[in-house]
Amino acid sequence: MTSPLFHRWATALLLLLALGFAGGAQAAGRERLSLDEGWLFHRGDVPMPAIKGHGMSYQNGKANNGWGAAAADFDDSGWRRLDLPHDWAVESPFDRNENASQGYRARGIGWYRRYLQLGESDRGRHLELQLDAVATYSTVWINGVVVNRNWSGYNGRNIDITPYVRYGSDPNTIAIRVDAEAQEGWWYEGAGIYRHTWLVKRDPLHIATDGLHANPVQQGGRWTVPVEVTLESSDHVARDAIVDVALLDTGGREVARGSARARVGALESTVVRTRLNIREPRLWSLARPELYRARAVLREGRKEIDSTEVQTGFRTVRFDADRGFFLNGEHVKIQGVCVHQDHAGVGVAMPESIWEFRLRRLKEMGVNAVRFAHNAPAAEVLDMADRLGLLVMDENRHFNPSPDYLSQLTWLVRRDRNHPSVILWSIFNEEPLQSTEAGYEMARRMVAEIRKLDPTRPVTGAMHGGLTTDRNAADAVDVVGLNYQIWIYDEYHRKHPRRPLTSTEDTSAFMTRGAYESDRQAQVMGSYDEEPSSWGNTHRDAWKAIAQRPFIAGSFVWTGIDYRGEPTPYEWPSASSFFGAMDLAGFAKGAFWIHQAQWVKDRPVVKLQPHWNWTGREGRDIRVMVTSNAQRVRVLLNGQPVGEQAVDPYQMNHFQVPYAPGRIEAVALQDGKEVARDVVETSGSAVRLVLTPDRPALAGDGLDAVPVTVSAVDAQGRAVSLAQDKVSFTLEGDGAIIGVGNGDPNSHEPDKAHERSLFNGLAQVIVQSCRDGQGRLRLRVTAEGLQPAQVDLALTTVSGPARVPVVEPTTPLLGWRISPPSATRPDPNVVLAENDMNSWGWDEPPMRRGPEAAAFRLYRSSVAVRADRNDGRARLRFGSIAGKAEVWVDGVKVGEKTGTEPAPFAVVLPKGKSQRQVTVLVEAAPGQPSGLWDRVVLERGSP
Ligand code: GAL
């Protein structure tokens, strides 16, 4: 079996080959390179120096004024090297002094740095740094120039770095300060660069990022695809270009095409439009999510200069005030869940394949819609929703139409408006201003902005009150979203009969996976679906209220999967939620089976709960809950019928069964015939461990990850559902264990570990391939007193995305001052007044002079030498000095170059203070050029 990721990379590779990008071909067209590898990380802040004195103040007023760790010449040796995505909060221990809402994990401040080499062939191209998301506030510097500030942990940024970069041997520095003391949510948000980073190289005239809009519409029974392509140019002159747009079906066959011409001025952007007509396209539906791809190629004459593709699909969506939601004209009751974005073991730095695992699990539960609460999901997740046939409510984080926040909303809409899965934009969730005129005005502005970019999809907002005022935010949206408030459904519908309504959030009931008796002392909740929050309802009651009202489009259960933080109804030691139909690892709780019975229509399902290990309760009644979508269910104990009932599709079926160890079975009956059966057996004590990977193989691309379930069985191979043994893992082969979990909201065991306790019979270990991984991974699990288990996972050879090579860190000497030329030898220790910014010039290597009339010049810079390197052995390396030269450090001559030819040169730095002044006296040979022709660096490591 190959993973969908494999298909994606394979398709990408084929595309690359088709476009002639592969094999290090001449830099042309578009290259999108992963920048995830080889970052340096420092946890905690690096204090900026106090700005004092004229010289420092003067420099502080300049563009490249990044100080401290933001500076290009900052010495970051000793920082931890890691690959992104990264969440440092999930690496933290649990601490009761930290915020319960953030899962009792310290967040704080952190710094990332990355070196980036650009060859001469990159000169003249348009270079964009893409950050998919950073939690939470962040500031980005390129070579000491601040290029972006962002106040949200959920939106991506596309930063034009072309103006600030250097080409050739001197690497560029990307520095990012992340402030995760800032909070935007009341749930676990993680900390750090937790989504992907990219470097995109394009022609100066190119298709803007997220600049291809191809969203099919049906008009008068005919399908067309209005296409808009945004072109941008960072070129120096106006250029004429042609945009060809093709629509490709699932098999890659072209089914429609169009083109448009454009003239794009220097440093301007323009939008070109065309329209593709297509007869009888295959519709995207939940059962058959047919996808098309729109491809735009930008040409100048016959030369292709850029191209891009988006995934799209043909479907209509409509919300009806009386009858709910329609997809392609057919009624679909929304069976949705809300989810946050963290998972066991990995926090918010979630590999795509773990997202895919979660979405598949949700589908298995019968879910047909997902609300990514309360923020934009990763782009890849929407691709998956398209592919898997899931509806999406795409939600913006901040309810705020001021320019900064509005740009986060428009970024979201531009990025996501081609996805057939996206059926609703959500602009707010439970806002205190929702009931006010201000709330209405704010919502109105946000809706108007969305309309400009996407007139096809309705907008909702999640109201948890405020619906009865004269003017409120619900008046500004297309579909009124109701959080909880089941009691208001009928009344609101009566008062506003023309307004489509949906639940945007409901349920909020508590369960602990595998537990069937609540124990408030131990902070455990039973799984019979009897304990809703005071504002919510049981899973069964919430769905009943929604299912029985055709005018409510559907449900969005809070939540599909547990998440860290918000450990309601408890606090410490509980650290993650109890709301999920699945636990943090994606193991089913009681609610999973309830919804499966309510929602799955295409196959019979039946599930019997609880486990059947009740030693000491022999003869006493045990409550048995059977969930099924059949007509009737029958329960058998040790082969004897103990009851049969007509299925209650809302409340499900309950039996009191006097306990006797053995085998208890639930049989689902349709027209008197058995259509499904579930069996639960009393187990003996655990003797052996079992490993069950979600998939048998993974792509060897350094990205693909597989969750593996660990369980314990007795001597007869029966699951031991109450096993709590501590297990340990080892992994051999080209891969790594990236996290462990067990779904216990009260567990304080670390996520980043090679051991974990089973919780009510289960634990999860997540293994990820290494880049260029080959062969197989062998995972072993052991536990005291139990037979170990092992499993092999095949690694398929996949090259993965093209990457930006990792460059070893260096400390360059920057900010050079250059004296005027002089005919006589100047004093290398001449003092340049602190407030003299003009009598010497400013420059950076390469500094090539002459031939000049006067032979001598002084070049001066400074460098900070860290204490651990200040041992009299550190070296200053000059890439190339032309002319004779003397190198002086803090008034002492430390080296002399006697030859006049351009040549590399190095000196050893004597021990001394940390901040060194370096002066180079260069004497040009008569009639010859001179200078520091290449970069100057302080070498790291011992000489
Ligand atoms: C809602 C809120 C969710 C979550 C939930 C818990 O009010 O929108 O984010 O906090 O309550 O019940």
Task: Give the SS3 label for residue 292.
Answer: strand
Whole-number pLDDT of residue 81 = 97
Whole-number pLDDT of residue 873 = 87
* Cα–Cα–Cα angle for 199, 205, 206, rounded to 5 degrees: 55
Taking the centre of ligand 1 as the mean of its atom positions, its distance from the CA of residue 35, in whole angstroms, is 35
Share of the chain above pLDDT 70, in %: 97
For residues 677-699, give the mean pLDDT: 98
| Per-residue pLDDT tens digits for 122-151 | 999 999 999 999 999 999 999 999 999 999
Residue that the structure tokens 């980073």 belong to: 197
Is 648 in the same domain as 708? Answer: no
Cβ–Cβ < 8 Å for 209, 228: no
Q: Cα–Cα distance between 554 and 536 in angstroms, integer? A: 16
Q: Cα–Cα distance between 770 and 701 in angstroms, integer? A: 6
Taking the centre of ligand 1 as the mean of its atom positions, its distance from the CA of residue 253, in whole angstroms, is 45
Q: Cα–Cα distance between 464 and 481 in angstroms, integer? A: 9
Is 84 in the same domain as 177? Answer: yes
Sign of the CA dihedral running 924, 930, 934, 936: positive
Q: Cα–Cα distance between 346 and 99 in angstroms, integer? A: 19
Beta bridge partners of 636: 641, 665
Whole-number pLDDT of residue 865 = 87
Pairing of strands 621-628, 653-658: antiparallel
Cβ–Cβ < 8 Å for 373, 350: no
Is 169 in the same domain as 281? Answer: no
Mutation probe of ligand 1 site: the residue of 102, 337, 397, 566 with most atoms within 8 A of C-beta: 566
Residue 501: Cβ-neighbour burial (10 angstroms; 0-12, 13-18, 19+): buried
Q: How far is CA 550 from the centre of its chain?
A: 36
Is 769 in the same domain as 853? Answer: no
Tokens of 743: 């779904």
Q: Cα–Cα distance between 535 and 495 in angstroms, integer? A: 23
In a domain, 609, yes or no: no
Nearest CA to ligand 1 atom 11: 508
Taking the centre of ligand 1 as the mean of its atom positions, its distance from the CA of residue 758, in whole angstroms, is 29
**Which amino acid, one-letter code, is at 213?**
H
Is 500 in the same domain as 362? Answer: yes
In a domain, 805, yes or no: no
**Domain termination residue (choose one: 163, 198, 233):** 198
For residues 603-616, give the mean pLDDT: 98
* Cα–Cα–Cα angle for 573, 432, 487, rounded to 5 degrees: 85
| Per-residue pLDDT tens digits for 23-36 | 333 345 899 999 99
Whole-number pLDDT of residue 28 = 59
Whether 662 shows a pLDDT value over 60: the answer reads yes
Whether 533 shows a pLDDT value over 70: the answer reads yes
- What's the DSSP call for residue 279? S
Task: Give the SS3 label for residue 5.
Answer: helix
Mutation probe of ligand 1 site: the residue of 460, 508, 578 with most atoms within 8 A of C-beta: 508
Q: Cα–Cα distance between 601 and 593 in angstroms, integer? A: 14
Whole-number pLDDT of residue 453 = 98
Is 560 in the same domain as 665? Answer: no
Nearest CA to ligand 1 atom 4: 558
Taking the centre of ligand 1 as the mean of its atom positions, its distance from the CA of residue 590, in whole angstroms, is 20
Cβ–Cβ < 8 Å for 399, 481: no
Taking the centre of ligand 1 as the mean of its atom positions, its distance from the CA of residue 568, in whole angstroms, is 10
Mean pLDDT over all residues of the chain?
95
Residue 97: Cβ-neighbour burial (10 angstroms; 0-12, 13-18, 19+): exposed
In a domain, 34, yes or no: yes
How many CB atoms are located within 10 Å of the residue 108 CB?
A: 16
Taking the centre of ligand 1 as the mean of its atom positions, its distance from the CA of residue 195, in whole angstroms, is 24
In a domain, 11, yes or no: no
Nearest CA to ligand 1 atom 12: 508
Taking the centre of ligand 1 as the mean of its atom positions, its distance from the CA of residue 595, in whole angstroms, is 20
Task: Give the SS3 label for residue 449.
Answer: helix
Write the CATH number for 385.
3.20.20.80
How many CB atoms are located within 10 Å of the residue 383 CB?
A: 20
For residues 920-932, give the mean pLDDT: 96
Write the CATH number for 242.
2.60.40.10
Candidates 727, 798, 4; CA nearest to 356 is: 4
In a domain, 320, yes or no: no
Residue 500 phi/psi, 5° resolution? -65, 140
Candidates 313, 223, 229, 316; CA nearest to 276 is: 223
Residue that the structure tokens 């190339």 belong to: 880
Is 404 in the same domain as 541? Answer: yes
Ligand 1 atom closest to residue 374's alpha carbon, by position in its atom list: 9
Q: Cα–Cα distance between 909 and 922 in angstroms, integer? A: 19
Ligand 1 atom closest to residue 533's alpha carbon, by position in its atom list: 12
Mutation probe of ligand 1 site: the residue of 339, 430, 564, 570 with most atoms within 8 A of C-beta: 430
Whether 2 shows a pLDDT value over 50: the answer reads no
- What's the DSSP call for residue 443? H
Taking the centre of ligand 1 as the mean of its atom positions, its distance from the CA of residue 465, in whole angstroms, is 13
Q: Cα–Cα distance between 172 and 109 in angstroms, integer? A: 23
Q: At 812, which helix (H) or strand (E)?
A: strand 811-812
Q: Cα–Cα distance between 271 and 230 in angstroms, integer? A: 4
Nearest CA to ligand 1 atom 7: 430
Beta bridge partners of 740: 765
Write the CATH number for 815.
2.60.120.260
Taking the centre of ligand 1 as the mean of its atom positions, its distance from the CA of residue 551, in whole angstroms, is 23
In a domain, 854, yes or no: yes
Whether 917 shows a pLDDT value over 90: the answer reads yes
Domain count, the chain: 6
Beta bridge partners of 38: none
Q: Cα–Cα distance between 75 and 65 in angstroms, integer? A: 16
Is 187 in the same domain as 218? Answer: no
Tokens of 666: 């639930």
Radius of gyration of the chain (CA): 32
Q: Cα–Cα distance between 359 and 695 in angstroms, integer? A: 15
Taking the centre of ligand 1 as the mean of its atom positions, its distance from the CA of residue 548, in whole angstroms, is 24
Candidates 102, 294, 271, 299; CA nearest to 186 is: 102
Q: At 77, which helix (H) or strand (E)?
A: none
How many CB atoms are located within 10 Å of the residue 533 CB?
A: 16
Tokens of 575: 């650290």
Residue that the structure tokens 């489009």 belong to: 553
Q: Cα–Cα distance between 336 and 371 in angstroms, integer? A: 7
Whole-number pLDDT of residue 383 = 98
Residue 452: Cβ-neighbour burial (10 angstroms; 0-12, 13-18, 19+): exposed
Taking the centre of ligand 1 as the mean of its atom positions, its distance from the CA of residue 311, in whole angstroms, is 32
Crossing angle for the helix pair 590-599 and 539-547, to the nearest 10 degrees:
20
How many CB atoms are located within 10 Å of the residue 626 CB?
A: 26
DSSP notation for 160-209: E-GGG---SSS-EEEEEEEEES----SS----B--S-EEEEEE-SEEEEE
Mutation probe of ligand 1 site: the residue of 505, 534, 561, 577 with most atoms within 8 A of C-beta: 505
Q: At 379, which helix (H) or strand (E)?
A: helix 379-388
Q: Cα–Cα distance between 247 and 258 in angstroms, integer? A: 9
Taking the centre of ligand 1 as the mean of its atom positions, its distance from the CA of residue 444, in whole angstroms, is 24
Is 598 in the same domain as 621? Answer: no
Q: Cα–Cα distance between 141 and 125 in angstroms, integer? A: 20
Structural domain that includes position 307? 206-312
For residues 91-103, give the mean pLDDT: 98
Cβ–Cβ < 8 Å for 639, 667: no
Nearest CA to ligand 1 atom 6: 508
- What's the DSSP call for residue 461? E
Candidates 243, 162, 239, 238; CA nearest to 207 is: 243
In a domain, 19, yes or no: no
Candidates 364, 329, 788, 729; CA nearest to 581 is: 364
Whether 14 shows a pLDDT value over 80: the answer reads no
Burial 15-50 (b: 16+ CB within 10 A, else e): bbeebebeeeeebbbbbbebbbbbbbbbbebbeeee
Is 343 in the same domain as 472? Answer: yes
Of the CA atoms within 13 Å of residue 592, those in its CB half-sphere come to: 23
Task: Return all residues near 587 (Cβ < 8 A) that are at least 6 apart.
Answer: 513, 709, 743, 762, 764
**Domain termination residue (choose one: 602, 625, 655):** 602
Tokens of 508: 């909020």
Cβ–Cβ < 8 Å for 100, 571: yes
Ligand 1 atom closest to residue 185's alpha carbon, by position in its atom list: 9
Tokens of 199: 């470097």
Is 427 in the same domain as 478? Answer: yes
Ligand 1 atom closest to residue 536's alpha carbon, by position in its atom list: 12
Which stretches of 402-538 are DSSP H helices?
A: 403-416, 437-453, 489-495
Candidates 645, 635, 643, 632; CA nearest to 671 is: 632
In a domain, 739, yes or no: yes
Is 466 in the same domain as 494? Answer: yes
Ligand 1 atom closest to residue 464's alpha carbon, by position in its atom list: 7
Q: Cα–Cα distance between 744 and 763 in angstroms, integer? A: 9
Q: At 20, which helix (H) or strand (E)?
A: none
Candidates 880, 871, 868; CA nearest to 934 is: 880
Across 121-125, 134-138, 231-235, 872-876, least confident range: 872-876
Ligand 1 atom closest to residue 566's alpha carbon, by position in its atom list: 10
Tokens of 447: 């809706």
Nearest CA to ligand 1 atom 3: 558
For residues 344-351, give the mean pLDDT: 98
Q: At 287, which helix (H) or strand (E)?
A: none
**Domain termination residue (choose one: 571, 602, 633):** 602
Q: Cα–Cα distance between 52 and 934 in angstroms, integer? A: 31
Name every protein residue with a CB atom under 6 angstroms from any ligand 1 atom.
186, 373, 429-430, 464, 483, 505, 508, 533, 558, 566
Taking the centre of ligand 1 as the mean of its atom positions, its distance from the CA of residue 646, in whole angstroms, is 35
Q: Cα–Cα distance between 330 and 313 in angstroms, integer? A: 17
Whether 552 shows a pLDDT value over 60: the answer reads yes
Of the CA atoms within 13 Å of residue 500, those in its CB half-sphere come to: 20
Residue 841 phi/psi, 5° resolution? -85, 180
Share of the chain above pLDDT 90, in %: 92
